[in-house]
A and B are shown apart, each in its own frame.
Chain A
Amino acid sequence: DVKVTQSSRYLVKRTGEKVFLECVQDMDHENMFWYRQDPGLGLRLIYFSYDVKMKEKGDIPEGYSVSREKKERFSLILESASTNQTSMYLCASSPTGWPGGTEAFFGQGTRLTVV
């Protein structure tokens, strides 16, 4: 079974802190994604990566950065946490398919609260 593991289920951080959310997948997938999920807004893509050291902005990248130094690991960084970044963060991975259309797998989510 594909496993996508997020380093924390729950995090509480203070405003202004630099926050790292880690995600690891064990299926050698090329694509990895970070989404955030908020009530009434659904899932929104923050960043994604289609290869090591490659990244592209999603719909809401402001206030975030990412790092992918190894294929299995994709980190989301909140440079200076703010209360409006309190949310559920979801990591996903998928293999590259052609012409497109492969199955995406999600981690268990990280509930981040910024106080």
Chain B
Amino acid sequence: KQEVTQIPAALSVPEGENLVLNCSFTDSAIYNLQWFRQDPGKGLTSLLLIQSSQREQTSGRLNASLDKSSGRSTLYIAASQPGDSATYLCAAPFSGGYNKLIFGAGTRLAVHP
């Protein structure tokens, strides 16, 4: 059964720092891994989807990597800004298919000026 773990649970950094958020999963036979952002009281916004055939995916200041053999993905945020403050969630597909996603508990990020 797929299990997804995220560390750290919370992170507080000054503006301008480069950050790494970690996500680990137990079933390495995944087809993809997706990173989301959630602002308080809001829905989830898709940030990046990494297919199993890829090792990295980039969007602006965000870079996500996927290492299936070690069961890990990382989300790198360059030059963090206060507007990056949110909860970041990773999700991997359930082994049974249909794109059912198993979510990590999230990393709550606070970037202060």
Q: How many A-B residue pairs have CB under 8 A?
A: 68
Q: Contact string, B25-47, partner A, CB cutoff 8 A, digits 1/0?
A: 00000111010100001111110
Chain B residues with Cβ below 8 Å from A45 are 100-101
Contact A96 B104 (CB under 8 A): no
Within residues 1 to 59 of chain B, which ones have a CB less than 8 A from any CB in chain A?
A: 30-32, 34, 36, 41-46, 49, 51-52
Q: Which of B51, B97, B103 contacts A43 (CB 8 A)?
A: B103
Chain B residues with Cβ below 8 Å from A96 are 98-99
Interface residues in A, total, Cβ within 8 A: 29
B105 within 8 A of A: yes
Known: A31-B99, A96-B99, A109-B43. A104 touches B104 (CB 8 A): no
Contact B99 A100 (CB under 8 A): yes
Known: A31-B99, A48-B98. A99 touches B31 (CB 8 A): yes
Q: Taking beta carbons and an 8 Å cutoff, which residues of B are in contact with A?
A: 30-32, 34, 36, 41-46, 49, 51-52, 89, 91, 93, 97-101, 103-106
What are 25 sample pairs from A and B whose C-beta atoms fall under 8 A apart?
Answer: A6-B43, A31-B98, A31-B99, A33-B100, A33-B101, A43-B103, A45-B100, A48-B98, A48-B100, A50-B98, A90-B44, A100-B93, A100-B99, A101-B49, A101-B93, A101-B99, A102-B99, A103-B34, A104-B46, A104-B101, A106-B43, A108-B42, A108-B43, A109-B41, A109-B42
